[in-house]
Amino acid sequence: MAYKGRVQDPLSIRVLVLNRLWQAVHIVPAKRALQLLSLEHARVLHPSGDGGWQVWPSTEWFELSYDQPANGRDHYVHTVRQAVRIPKIILLNDYGELPLKEVHLNRQSIFERDGHCCQYCGRTFKSQELNLDHVIPRERGGVMSWENIVTSCIPCNTRKGNRTPAEAQMRLMKKPKQPKSRPFVTYIIGQEVEDEWHNFLHTRHEFTDVEIIPVKGEPRPLEAVVG
């Protein structure tokens, strides 16, 4: 995916952040990505054009932006002295953790937890053919919680009505519980993202051609536009 047309605020463009093990850990606005580069906390990961990847130190990336004119596909942020190319991916120098995010309680998360399977009849359905069921009905004190909400097909939901499973003589397939936290990357799979990101939206990936760009000169400070 490339941003089409004029971008009102280039500093708000999304940049994928990888830890030092090349695992996706976050998405940040371009302004934050440039701050991390300016502080030398990260480097730029950029496709080499032949299927490989280049790792650019911040100094060399800023020089590259200065030396190469803007093209129609890349976006730049303009400082007083130069235009800086906005990277699509940055690589953190030291951070090696893989943070987990708590799964939010909502309709789709319940369906995913239960595998789109009705917890009463055991059959699998499409999302539009499913409902949420309160194990203990709301009118009887049942709350909206992982432990009290299950996936139900419409016929089973209608049959159960305002009763408990025991009263309706309907047995749950399994005891409902809160799912474990998941890696950040699972939350962006399926979203519209930059083409370069797809290489890092899987738990396993291999790269055989990686070029490390050496630092050639003294760091040149980035203007206060990213401060």
List, for residues 84-110, the tens digit of each pLDDT value: 889 999 999 998 887 777 788 999 889
Q: Give the chain's largest Cα–Cα span.
A: 76
Residue 207's alpha-carbon distances to 47, 59, 202, in angstroms, are 11, 24, 13
List, for residues 132-180, the tens digit of each pLDDT value: 999 999 999 999 999 999 999 999 999 999 999 999 999 999 999 998 8
pLDDT at 71 over 80: no
**How far, in whole angstroms, is CA 39 from its chain's centroid?**
24
**CATH topology for 103-168?**
DNA Binding (I), subunit A (1.10.30)
* Global pTM value: 0.60
Domain ranges (residues) in the chain: 10-100+182-226, 103-168
List, for residues 32-59, the tens digit of each pLDDT value: 999 999 999 999 999 887 778 899 999 8
Name the H helices within 57-101. 58-67
What DSSP string describes 151-169?
EEEHHHHHHH-SS-HHHHT
List, for residues 176-223, the tens digit of each pLDDT value: 999 887 666 666 655 677 888 877 876 445 555 666 666 665 555 555
